[in-house]
Structure 1
C-alpha cells in the first residue's frame, strides 16, 4: 500500500515503453505490430489506476490500431514537410549569403580592422594575444576582433574584448572586411583571402618535431592530418614570424608556400625577457606555492607512438616526495592532453591532495615558467622559451629513440640540449640530488642553446610586428650578436640545491 502512489507513474511508463518499441522499425516484424498494439492497449486499459487521467501522448492506446496508424502517417508527413521547408529555407539563406559575400567582396577592406585567433579559436592567448595587446597600446586606431569557438569560450574572454563566434553572420562580415589576420594555427579553409589582406602567422614556438610537409614521411604522426589541405591553407600566409634561424629554415622547408619569413622574435616571449621578479612572486601566490619553496616545473609533451598521446614517463608522487618538503612540483601537460585521460590517471587526485600543483589549465604558460626555478621536460618546445629566463633545464629523454622514430625530429636534442640529459629516473634523481642540474656545465649548455634559439627574442617582438607589418613603420631587426637580456630569476631564498628526503 505504501507504494500505491507510484502506480500512475508506472502505468504511464509502461505505455510509453510499448509505444516506443512499436515505433522502431527493427524491434517487431510488420505482421506482428497490430497484435502487439492490441495486447498493449488491453493491458494499458486493464491496469489503469482508478481516477487517473491518461496523458495526451498515450490516448492513442484507447482509440485502436487504425487511429494509431493514421497518427503515425500524419506525423511522418508533417516531419517531411518541415524538413523540406527547412531545406528550402537553408538553400535560400545560402543564396542570400553568397550574394551578401559577393557584395561585401566588392567593398574596400577596412584598413583598421584586425582579426585575431589562437589555438583553434580558444581565446586571447599566445603570440596573437601579445600582438593584440601591443596594438591596443601603440595603435589604438586598429580595431581588434577575436574569433572564438562558442559561447562558453566567449564567457572566458577578458571583459570588454570584442569578439565574434566562428561561423556566425558577424564572423562572415568581419572576415570579408578585415585587413589583418593574426593566428598561430591556420584559418578555416572556407575563409577566402582577399587581395590586399595581410595574413600574419605566428606559429606556436620553435620546432623540434616534424611539421607540415615533413609529416608525409611519418604516417603514424600524420594520422588524421590532411597535409595537402594544411599546405593550401598555409599558402594564404603573407608573413611567417621566426625567433631564430633554425625556425626560419624549418618553416620554409615544412611549408613550401608563398610567404615571407620575418625575424621578429616570438611576441609571447616578450614577457619572459622583460618581466621582473615581482611577476613570478604573484604567480607563485596564485598557484598556492609556500613562501621560500623551490619550484620545479615538469612539462612533458605528447607521444605519437601511443594512442591518445599520453605516456607516464615519471612517477609524479615519487618525484614530489623525493624533492622534499621545501619544494613544490608544478605539472603542466601538453594542451592536447588537457581534457584526456592523462589527468584522470592520478594527476587530478595528486593536485587535490596537495602533492603537486596541476597548472595545465593556467591560460598563460609564460606565467608558469616565470614562477619556477627549474624546468624538467622531455621534448616539449617549452624548453626553447624557458631558456630565455637563463634558469636550469633538465631534459628527461628516456624514450628519445621511440619519439624520434615515430614523430621525426629536426635535430638530436640529447646531443644539443639546454642542460643535462637523463635517460632514466635514476639518472634524473642523481642530477637533482647532487646539484649537477645547476652546475657550470649546465650553465654552459644553456648559454649556447639560448644563443642559438633565442637570437631574435629581444623583448620587442610584438612591437616589431605591429609597427612593421601593420603600421608600415621602420624598426630595426634584432641583432643576433647582441646578448639577449635574461629575465631576472626568482630563486627561493637560501636554497642552493635540490635535496631529497
Structure 2
C-alpha cells in the first residue's frame, strides 16, 4: 500500500532530509501515508521534533512491526537497525546526512579509534537493503559507492533539506535571529565545530569561545552550534551554557533544525563539519579553522584535504582566525573565488527541487 515509514538520526524525530521529503510528499502526493518512527515521543514533542498531527509509531512494538511489514517505502538518514529483512517489493531510500568529508562505512575499518563501538560488517549488511542513495554531488556519489560497496543505485537528486537554503533571500533568517535574541543589525558569526575521535567523549575545545566573542567586538553576535553527538555531553557543562545565560554568546545547539541556524548566519566558522557543504548553498562566506588537521586525519580519515580545496579562507591558529574576522578578510574577493569553486563542486545537484524529485 502507499505507506511510507520515515526515520531520522536513530528515531529522534522529524528531522533532516527525511523531514524535507515528508513535507513535500504531503503537498504533492497526499495519497501517501507517512508515519514517523520515534523512539521517545514525549521528548521529541518537547524539543519541537514531533509537530502536532504527525502520525508516529514507537520502534520495537507490535504496531511498528505491523507497519514495517506493510510499508512500501522506507526513508532514513541512517540505517534501520530494528527492521527485519527487506521485504520483496519494498523501496529503501537512504538520504545520508550531508556530503562526506570524514571517512564513513567500510573506510572506517582502517581507523580503529573512529570505528570503536561501530559494527561495520553489520552496517554494510543493512546498507544492502538500500535501493536509492541520494547525492548532492559526484564527490558524494563516489564516496558512498566506495564506503558502502552494496547493491544500491545513486540518485542525483540533491539534498532535500537544502532546498530551503538554495536561493534564500538575505532576510530569510530574520525570524530565526529574532527567536535567538540577536539584534537585527548585528553580523552573526556561526561557529560549528565537529567531534574528534582522538579524544574520549569527542569534544576538544580548540579555543575559548568567550575570547572569540570578545574579539569580534561591537555589532557582532557569536552563535555556537555543537555537533549533535556532543549536545548532552560535557561540552555544554564546560561553560557554553553559562556563557549563553550571561549573554556572551548564543548557544544554538538545541535548535531543532540546522537549516534555520544556517539561514541566520552571515559567516560560518567551522573545522571539518559537513555543515560547510550545506551552508555553501547560501553563497555566504565560510572560514575553516584547521589547527588540528593532521591529528583529525590520523584518527578519523578524510576524503580530501579541505585546506587545499577550501570553501573560503583557512586559519591554522586562533590568531589567524581572529585576524581574518577582525580585518574583514573573511569576505574579500579571494574568499568569494574559493567559495565559487567549492560550490561548483559540492552544490552540483542542489537546485531547490531535491525533495520533489524524491
Give the match for residue 217 of structure 1. Answer: 110
Q: What is the 5 A alignment of 1:217-296?
A: 217-296=110-189
Give the match for residue 204 of structure 1. Answer: 97
1:133 alignment partner, SS class: helix
Q: Distance in 1 between matches of 2:109 and 2:291?
A: 26
1:297 alignment partner, SS class: strand
**Unmatched segments (≥5 aa) in structure 1:** 1-109, 466-501
TM-score normalised according to structure 1 size? 0.70
Match of 2:42 among 124, 135, 152: 152
Match of 2:62 among 138, 144, 169: 169
Cα shift at 1:274: 4.1
The 1:322/1:154 distance shift into structure 2, 3 A limit, reads closer
Give the match for residue 304 of structure 1. Answer: 197
Give the match for residue 260 of structure 2. Answer: 367
- Map Cα deviations across residues 38-63 of structure 1 (whole Å, 9 max, x no partner): xxxxxxxxxxxxxxxxxxxxxxxxxx
Alignment check: 8 A CA contact 1:221 1:406 kept: yes
Match of 1:401 among 281, 294, 300: 294
Cα shift at 1:154: 5.0
Cα shift at 1:191: 2.3
Alignment check: 8 A CA contact 1:264 1:464 kept: yes
Match of 1:131 among 10, 21, 29: 21
RCO (CA 8 Å, sep 6+): is it higher in 1 or 2?
A: 2
- Map Cα deviations across residues 180-237 of structure 1 (whole Å, 9 max, x no partner): 0000000015422100000000000000000000000111110000100000000000
2:172 alignment partner, SS class: helix
Alignment check: 8 A CA contact 1:244 1:453 kept: yes
Alignment check: 8 A CA contact 1:150 1:166 kept: no
Cα shift at 1:429: 1.2
Give the match for residue 142 of structure 1. Answer: 32
1:295 alignment partner, SS class: strand
RMSD, aligned CA: 0.9
The 1:152/1:377 distance shift into structure 2, 3 A limit, reads same
1:383 aligns with 2:273: no
Instruction: Give the structure with higher Rg (CA).
Output: 1
Alignment check: 8 A CA contact 1:154 1:163 kept: no
Cα shift at 1:152: 2.2
Q: Distance in 2 between matches of 1:229 and 1:189?
A: 12
TM-score normalised according to structure 2 size? 0.98
Alignment check: 8 A CA contact 1:205 1:266 kept: yes
1:119 aligns with 2:2: no
Give the match for residue 71 of structure 1. Answer: none
Q: Distance in 1 between matches of 2:29 and 2:294?
A: 48
Match of 1:358 among 229, 251, 256: 251
Alignment check: 8 A CA contact 2:174 2:184 kept: no
Q: Distance in 2 between matches of 1:133 and 1:346?
A: 37
Q: Distance in 1 between matches of 2:232 and 2:153?
A: 36
- Map Cα deviations across residues 417-461 of structure 1 (whole Å, 9 max, x no partner): 000000111111111122111111000000000000000001000
Count how many residue pairs are aligned between Structure 1 and Structure 2.
355
Q: Distance in 2 between matches of 1:345 and 1:270?
A: 35
Cα shift at 1:314: 1.6
Q: Distance in 2 between matches of 1:154 and 1:413?
A: 35
Cα shift at 1:168: 1.4
Q: Distance in 1 between matches of 2:326 and 2:29?
A: 51
**Unmatched segments (≥5 aa) in structure 2:** none
Cα shift at 1:169: 1.3
2:173 alignment partner, SS class: helix
Cα shift at 1:155: 3.0
Alignment check: 8 A CA contact 1:296 1:376 kept: yes
Alignment check: 8 A CA contact 2:136 2:159 kept: yes
2:73 alignment partner, SS class: strand
Give the match for residue 70 of structure 1. Answer: none
1:116 alignment partner, SS class: strand
Q: Distance in 1 between matches of 2:143 and 2:184?
A: 42
2:288 alignment partner, SS class: strand
